[in-house]
Each structure stands twice: as C-alpha cells, then as structure tokens.
Amino acid sequence: MSILVHAIIAAFYGVLALAAALLLPEKVPQATPQYAAAAGAAVFVVGLVLHFSLTLRRRSRHAAFQLEDLRTQTRRLAEDILQTQTQSLHWRQAAEQMGQAGEQRVSQVISEVKVLQGLIESFAEQQARYVAVANGGSVAQLVALDGGKSAERPPMPPLQESTREDETLSILRDALRADRVDVYLQPIVSLPQRKTRFYECYTRIRAEDGTVIGPGSYIGIAEREGMVSAIDNLLLFRCVQLIRRTRNRDYDVSFFCNISGESLSDTQFISDFVDFVADNPELAPNIFFEIGQSDLDNAPPESIDNLSRLSDLGFRFSLDQVTHLNLNFAGLAARSFRYVKIDARFLLDSSVEVQSDIAVSDIKQQLDRYGLNMIVEKIERESDLVELLDYEVDFGQGYLFGEPRLSRVD
C-alpha cells in the first residue's frame, strides 16, 4: 500500500477515536472526561496496531511466495547447469579418449555434438514453425514438413543408386562432416484398420548437389570404412529429436530405428547411448530397435550383453531382415523382442523357398503364443493385402500404405 492509503486509514481510526471520546460521556454518565479521552486513544492505538499487523502479514505471505518462486527457478537453473556440465564433461572425455583416432572419429563427434545442441536450441523455434500442424494437422504432416515452411510433403530428391566407390566414399565422408545424413520415415499400419501406429526411420546420404545416395550404394562402403556407427549414432539422436518434437505437439508416436551389428558390438557406442538415455528414461517407450536376423544369429557375447543393457532401460526390439523362419520364439521374447518383420512374399508366393521347421501358415500362431507381433513388410498391392488378412496379420508396411518420406528434424 502507498503512504497515502496508510494516512487515510490512520485518519479513519483517528475519527473513530474522537467519536468514542465525545460520545462515551453521553452514553455512560459515570465516565469522566479523562476516562473518555483514554478510551478514544485506546481505540486509535488498537486500530493502528490491527491495521499494521494485517499489512505485515500480507507482505510476509507475498515475500514467502516470491522466495519459493525464486527457489524453484534457482533449482531449475542448477539442474540445467548440471546437465550442461555433464554433457560437456562427456564430450571432453570422449575427445580425450579419441586421441589420434583420425578424421573420421572427429567428424562423428562433431556431428553428435551438433545433434545434441539441436535438442536444446531448436525446440523454441519449432514452436512457431509448427503451429499450423498443432491446430489440427496429423503426425504424418508433422514429420514430413520441409523446414517448417510448408505443411506439404517435401519433393523426393533424385535417388542415385550407383556411382564409383571412390566418389561414394568422398560423398559419404563429406556428408558426415556437413551433417547431410537425412532421415526418411515410412508408416507402419495396424491391420485391417490401416491406421498408422509407428514410423520406421531410414537414413539417406545427400550429396552437395542434392542428389541422394541410396543404401545399396553406400552401406557396403560404410561398413568397410568403419562409418556405420557414426551413421547409426546420427539416426538415434534424430529419433530422439522426433520423439521430443511430436510430444511437444501432444502426439504419442513411436519409431523403429535400425541398429547395425557393428554398432551393437561397439561397447563404447552403446555405453555413450546408455548414459544419455539413463538421464532421459521417458524416451525408451517410443523407440524400437530393429536388429537384423543375421546380426542376432551371429552376435558375439558383448552384443548380447549390450542388448540386455538396453532392455534393462526399457527398450524393446524388432527382428528385421528375416531370411529364415526357424525362429527361437522363446529366446526372442526373453530378450525383449516384441516384433518380427516378415517379407510378404514368404506368405504369398509359394515359389519362394523359406527355411522353416513349421508351416508358414502356423508362424502367426507361434508368434502370438510368445507375445510377438508380426509385421508384414513390402506390401505393394491391394490384392496382396486381401490374401494377407487371412493370416490375421497384426501390422503392415509397404508402398501400399506410404513410401518413405523425408523428415526435417534439424
């Protein structure tokens, strides 16, 4: 309150005191003038004491609220500082351990740092960029936006599947340095409803001229040159960005993210990711790691241990690139596998020989028995879908439901 308000209230109590002093002798004949004056003074003093007590109490409560708010802000700031220091220490240790590992590892660390910085810096800008989607758009629109400029899906860049190996290696190295490893998303739908339930993430390498190099051209070279872990690392953190961005829009969508056998056996790679996710446990329910069947069949003990570490953090897995159906259903379930991807040809084309100890028509029953879901991939025609529904398929994926589309997550 201002001084003027306090003065007015004091004057009010003064008037009450004067009235009490003047009226008391009339109401009480025995009261002397001195007694009446004392009573008026008492009214004035009690009124002022009551007023200032209420004022101090109100100010004290307001100060307590301000103090609590300040403590909350301080605590949040301390948490942010601690997180920043932890990340800084993590990357500084990684740089020290790297030593003279070479230009390739330097490029990988730089790319990872850029992605992690994006997790903090880009969300505020994306708030405004995706308002149109938040006001009624779908997840499909959200993940396909081209830099936030349009709600239309970006045009597919030209795909180049063949080039000289030396050129491909040069493009691959340059793309890792310049962060031109793009993420493409393809829907996985529930059947028979055809409702999009998940998205599978793919990586594509983009040359400086905009040409996209498909995995058929670069994956063998990347494996030979030891670059697969760097690509997997980028894909994982892009998935993290996608999860956080969709959650900002109150969407609950999960992503299938491939992890190669090379990355799975890379203990340092897994340790770094486990450390990151341990601080962000809410991410686990929205990422399913896809692991190739041959990678799992030939996995060394350290890879199995790393699978267990990821499982303990709440991650679940999907078996991909299935070439035979002699599956250890109980073993898959015990290792936290929840999905098995099967080529549509295995179920539809009798001329395709599939190694299996049981009838192909009984695979779905065995999967159900162990809590595994079947995803039939490479569905391209309506007639194929009609036949597949006879197998009571859980999920479908393929060009019939949507081709991979470029997602801007940076």
Quick: pLDDT tens for 239-271: 888 888 888 887 888 999 998 888 888 878 878
Residue 315 contacts residue 290 (beta carbons within 8 Å): no
Mean pLDDT of 42-51: 76
Q: How many CB atoms lie within 10 A of CB 368?
A: 14
Q: How many CB atoms lie within 10 A of CB 168?
A: 20
Residue 320 contacts residue 333 (beta carbons within 8 Å): no
List the one residue out of 200, 292, 309, 307 whose CA is nearest residue 254. Answer: 200
Q: Band the pLDDT of 75: cuts 50, 70, 90.
A: low
Q: What is the dihedral of CA 233, 239, 240, 243, to 10 degrees?
A: 180
Q: What was the pLDDT predicted at 351?
A: 86
Give the three-state DSSP class for 354: coil
- 191 exposure class (CB count in 10 Å sphere: 0-12, 13-18, 19+): buried
In angstroms, the Cα distances linking 43 to 37, 48, 55, 136, 138 are: 10, 9, 18, 65, 70
Structure tokens at 190: 């529930």
Q: What was the pLDDT predicted at 317?
A: 96
Task: For the chain, give every domain's residue range.
Answer: 3-75, 113-407
Q: Band the pLDDT of 68: cuts 50, 70, 90.
A: low
Give the three-state DSSP class for 405: strand
Q: Band the pLDDT of 77: cuts 50, 70, 90.
A: low
Q: Band the pLDDT of 201: cuts 50, 70, 90.
A: very high
Higher pLDDT among residues 213 and 118, named by residue:
213
Q: Band the pLDDT of 280: cuts 50, 70, 90.
A: confident
Q: Band the pLDDT of 130: cuts 50, 70, 90.
A: very low
pLDDT at 194 over 90: yes
Give pLDDT tens digits for 296-329: 998 888 888 888 988 999 999 999 999 999 999 9
Q: What was the pLDDT predicted at 102?
A: 47
> What residues contact residue 316 under an 8 Å CB cut-off, 6+ apart?
288, 289, 336, 337, 338
Q: What is the C-alpha R_g of the chain? A: 34
Residue bearing tokens 């601690």: 82
Q: Band the pLDDT of 109: cuts 50, 70, 90.
A: very low
In angstroms, the Cα distances linking 35 to 22, 27, 31, 49 are: 11, 13, 6, 21
Q: What was the pLDDT predicted at 76?
A: 59
Rounded CA separation 273/233 (Å): 8
Mean pLDDT of 13-27: 72
Q: Band the pLDDT of 373: cuts 50, 70, 90.
A: very high
Rounded CA separation 233/115 (Å): 10
Length of the chain: 410
Phi, psi for residue 19 in degrees, rounded to 5:
-65, -40
Give pLDDT tens digits for 204-224: 888 888 888 877 788 888 888
Rounded CA separation 405/391 (Å): 29
- Alpha carbon distance, N-terminus to C-terminus of the chain: 51
Structure tokens at 356: 């299996």
Contacts 24+ apart (CB under 8 A), 58-65: none
**CATH class of the 113-407 domain in this structure:** alpha beta
Give me the chain's average pLDDT, please: 76
Q: What was the pLDDT predicted at 88?
A: 53
Phi, psi for residue 30 in degrees, rounded to 5:
-75, -15
Q: What was the pLDDT predicted at 331?
A: 95
